[in-house]
């Protein structure tokens, strides 16, 4: 290796200590994995595995032969599932904006109030979707409305957290410049802050919509509307052909929405 003047530099010393440390870590991990998998292998009941293989060989061909005669009913419930996810995500995306500002350190100067905002969003994210769905089904009755409320509440906490991170990363020089020129808070909000954060807000909302599509297919398991109710019924009746149609429909819808959403997000950010 040569320096800028053309003189030959001495070779860098090899870091043997680092190599030995990495080798020891790799050996320890190998021993742990061997011990773990050998323990699992000793405890597997191979009769159970044989029964599982037999059941799969009987069910999978029926799943791969969907009952296209039920396409109309399945399509209607899939559409309801998409609308549940859309309405819930829209509610969450709007409600999360003020709470995102509340949890952003550069917007709320009081550490106590800022911490309270962050903990409020954390508290919202601790509730599992199915637990909330059961609560709303009991409160407002089974159906799509319970699903919309569940999606809205579960998505609200995550979007609020993401919004707060976006707000904390804005260029405060623009805000300070408008303050120096006598702009009021509303003008600062609409002309200095929103133009910086709105593209990422919309991008995160679209990404959350993709996640909520998957979540809303499960909510029907507890009566919160959508395709989940039909999944429970077809599985209980061992109607594997109709279940195969449902699975194919969900995969197609999710792929289409993911593709459209990714194209829109690329234009936004």
Q: Express each pLDDT in 207-247 by its tens digit.
A: 899 889 888 888 888 888 888 888 888 888 888 888 888 88
Answer whether 139's CB lies under 8 Å from 223's CB: no
CA-to-CA distance for 104 and 122, rounded, in angstroms? 14
* DSSP secondary structure letter of residue 8: B
CA-to-CA distance for 213 and 153, rounded, in angstroms? 15
- Global confidence as pTM: 0.74
Distances in Å between the alpha carbon of 231 and those of 15, 134, 136, 226?
Answer: 58, 17, 20, 10
Query: What tokens appear for 252 in the block?
Result: 């197609």
- What does 12-60 look like in DSSP terms, one character per residue? PPP-HHHHHHHHHHHHHHHHHHHHHHHHHHHH--HHHHHHHHHHHHHHH
Residue 234 is predicted with a pLDDT of: 86
CA-to-CA distance for 115 and 112, rounded, in angstroms? 5
CA 25 from centre of chain: 33
For residue 88, pLDDT beyond 90: yes
CA-to-CA distance for 97 and 62, rounded, in angstroms? 47
* DSSP secondary structure letter of residue 221: G
Mapped onto helix, strand or coil, the DSSP state of residue 223 is: coil
Cβ count within 10 A of residue 98: 12
For residue 47, pLDDT beyond 60: no
When pLDDT is cut at 50, 70 and 90, the band that residue 262 belongs to is confident
> What's the residue count for the chain?
269
């Amino acid at each position: 290796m040569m320096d800028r003047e053309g003189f030959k530099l001495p070779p860098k010393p090899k870091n043997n200590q680092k190599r030995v440390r990495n080798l020891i870590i790799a050996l320890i991990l190998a021993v742990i994995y061997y011990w773990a998998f050998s323990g699992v292998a000793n405890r597997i009941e191979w009769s159970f595995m044989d029964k599982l293989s037999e059941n799969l060989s009987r069910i999978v061909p029926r799943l791969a032969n969907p009952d296209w005669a039920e396409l109309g009913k399945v399509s209607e419930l899939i559409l309801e599932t998409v609308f549940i996810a859309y309405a819930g995500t829209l509610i969450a995306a709007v409600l999360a904006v003020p709470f995102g500002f509340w949890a952003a350190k550069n917007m709320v100067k009081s550490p106590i109030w800022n911490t309270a905002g962050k903990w409020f969003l954390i508290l919202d994210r601790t509730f599992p979707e199915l637990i909330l769905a059961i609560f709303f089904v009991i409160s407002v009755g089974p159906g799509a409305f319970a699903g919309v409320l569940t999606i809205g509440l579960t998505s609200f906490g995550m979007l609020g957290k993401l919004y707060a991170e976006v707000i904390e990363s804005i260029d405060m020089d623009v805000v300070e410049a408008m303050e120096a020129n006598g702009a009021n808070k509303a003008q600062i909000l609409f002309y200095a802050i929103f133009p910086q954060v709105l593209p990422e807000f919309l991008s995160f909302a679209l990404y959350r919509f993709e996640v909520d599509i998957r979540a809303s297919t499960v909510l029907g398991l507890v009566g919160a509307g959508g395709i989940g109710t039909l999944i429970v019924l077809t599985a209980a009746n061992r109607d594997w052909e109709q279940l195969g149609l449902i699975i194919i429909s969900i995969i197609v819808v999710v792929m289409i929405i993911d593709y459209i959403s990714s194209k829109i997000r690329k234009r936004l950010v």
